Chain A
């Protein structure tokens, strides 16, 4: 990967950045994409209004539907991020690869961020539509909440360990078991409440005409780009941290071996001075 490597510098502290041409291009593209999305979401698309032909009453989500263009892509990104974490965890356990460990951790962090966004945008969207900030019976809401908690726990767990190899292995187990749990949670909450508010306002209900559909897909692409940008930066930070840890190893080994002659000399003088006694060296 074309990133700066850390060299132990003895003079000035050089700032090492994680940006590169790739991230700069990607970043600008995402910014532009977000601007276009904003335009699409708030100006170009129509609010969701459905006229009931019999009674001529206008129903629908009206302007609230505009949140769809954020909520849906952000949810997709969340699942992608945690899926990548699960894959990374498998690779860590299988190949014992540090690269995958850093990727998994980075993906989990970004995923937690997007998961929180999903819950918040979903809640804001739900308020005008379902008349409530939170609905216990809703399957996807409960599953996403538990997913959020599981991965917050994953991140908290990673923080408790300092040894990077132990941390990689154990958090891979935690992440994987957490990820395996998700379909179980989904199914059980679904059975728990047969009705789900999500179904009441699915995409099928909305008048998904060309521009709405396009805006949704476009939004998905843009947010995936944002996710990739964040992931790359977070990965590079992790990589630099890892390099900072391991570059010292050769030196540490040399220093350790150099202890030998002095230590032996000390031990011999100690032994000589205590020879008359028969004390125990604890």
Chain B
């Protein structure tokens, strides 16, 4: 059976509308023979490439302004890259490009083996973007937000409370987001992204607005992501905090990568 049909069978046999497992499997096979194309997004195939990110000559326009003006970047899997640069340099746009959210005017970008223009959905499904906007619904509780985003990205088999525990927000699980402080919302947003177990983490100013404990949580998050074999890109002004963790440092200014060098974790860089 061709690969996509096999995946469709696997996916459909999880649908619990039919109780008996054997019947479910039979239904899944029948349906997949008749309709082999899965209606949902394909399962993300494990990338065999070593390069997590490969960007060449990327031009991204915001309106008519070239936020990225021919940017080149190559990142290996399992690295932590600190993206530093002045305000307005294009750091946020770079992260959005890597997340598959910003359209390329020209140039090319491959993220985790998928082309950003052609395989947008696969790119978005495999990355986790943490941006200043928390993307949480104010009127729902944290637990409800988590449940919603987990089921939307089809990760609802994950233990939500454990995820909240890791960001020390387990006690606030039943509080409405509107009643929380910025730092608490940020931590909840981290939990939302963490549940997806992304293979590329894109963190946009993750320490902003957090207290000491929160910042420690972010650092622990980056470390945990590396342990899980993911790649991390952090855009931050908190150079002192992130430099010890970073394996590479990219300086972005004027919409291009001005310099890209390896960093010795814990050392002072040039």
Contacts and interface: CB of A to CB of B under 8 A. Distances in A.
Interface in A231-282: 245, 248-249, 252-254, 256-261, 263-264, 266-267, 271, 278, 280-282
Interface string B52-68: 00000001010111100
A280 B69 contact: no
B253 interface: yes
Interface stretch (B22-30, B146-154, B232-240): B232-240
B72 to A, nearest CB: 12
A254 B66 CA distance: 9
Interface in A160-218: 162-163, 165
B253 A249 contact: no
Contact of A253 (B70, B88, B207, B238): B70
Contact of A280 (B70, B88, B208, B256): B208
A264 B258 contact: yes
A278 B240 contact: yes
Nearest to A267: B86
A93 to B, nearest CB: 15
Contacts of B86: 263-264, 266-267
Question: How many residues of B sit at the interface, in one of the four size bands?
Answer: 20 to 34
Nearest to A281: B237
Contacts of B208: 280, 282
Among B64, B85, B238, the one with the most A-chain Cβ atoms within 10 Å of its Cβ is: B64
A281 B240 CA distance: 12
Interface in A133-152: none
12 contacts: A163-B64, A248-B64, A253-B66, A256-B254, A257-B69, A260-B255, A261-B253, A263-B88, A264-B85, A264-B253, A278-B240, A282-B208
A267 B64 contact: no
Question: How many residues of A sit at the interface, in one of the four size bands?
Answer: 20 to 34
B69 A253 contact: yes
A274 to B, nearest CB: 10
Contact of A260 (B59, B63, B258): B258
A269 B89 CA distance: 16
A267 B63 contact: no
A217 B6 CA distance: 62
B38 interface: no
The prevalent SS among residues of A at the interface is helix
Interface of B: 59, 61, 63-66, 69-70, 85-86, 88-89, 103, 207-208, 237-240, 251, 253-256, 258
A259 B85 CA distance: 12
A271 to B, nearest CB: 7
Interface of A: 162-163, 165, 245, 248-249, 252-254, 256-261, 263-264, 266-267, 271, 278, 280-282
Given A249-B64, A260-B254, A271 B85 contact: no
Given A165-B103, A253-B70, A261-B253, 18 more contacts: A163-B63, A253-B69, A256-B65, A256-B66, A257-B254, A257-B256, A259-B253, A259-B255, A260-B255, A260-B256, A260-B258, A264-B253, A267-B85, A267-B86, A271-B239, A278-B240, A281-B238, A282-B208
Contact of A256 (B69, B207, B237): B69
A215 to B, nearest CB: 50
A161 to B, nearest CB: 10
B254 A259 contact: yes
B207 A252 contact: no
Contacts of B237: 280-282
Nearest to A266: B86
B240 A252 contact: no
B149 to A, nearest CB: 26
B253 A253 contact: no
Given A253-B59, A253-B70, A280-B238, A263 B254 contact: yes
Contacts of A256: 65-66, 69, 254-255
Given A252-B65, A256-B66, A257-B69, A267 B253 contact: yes
B64 A260 contact: no
A280 B238 CA distance: 7
A252 B66 CA distance: 7
Contacts of B256: 257, 260
Nearest to A250: B66
Contacts of A165: 103
A258 B254 contact: yes
A267 B91 CA distance: 14
Contacts of A271: 239
A162 B63 contact: yes
A273 B85 CA distance: 16
B64 to A, nearest CB: 6
A245 B89 CA distance: 23
A252 B61 CA distance: 10
A249 B67 CA distance: 12
Contacts of A263: 85-86, 88-89, 253-254
A244 to B, nearest CB: 11
A252 B63 CA distance: 12
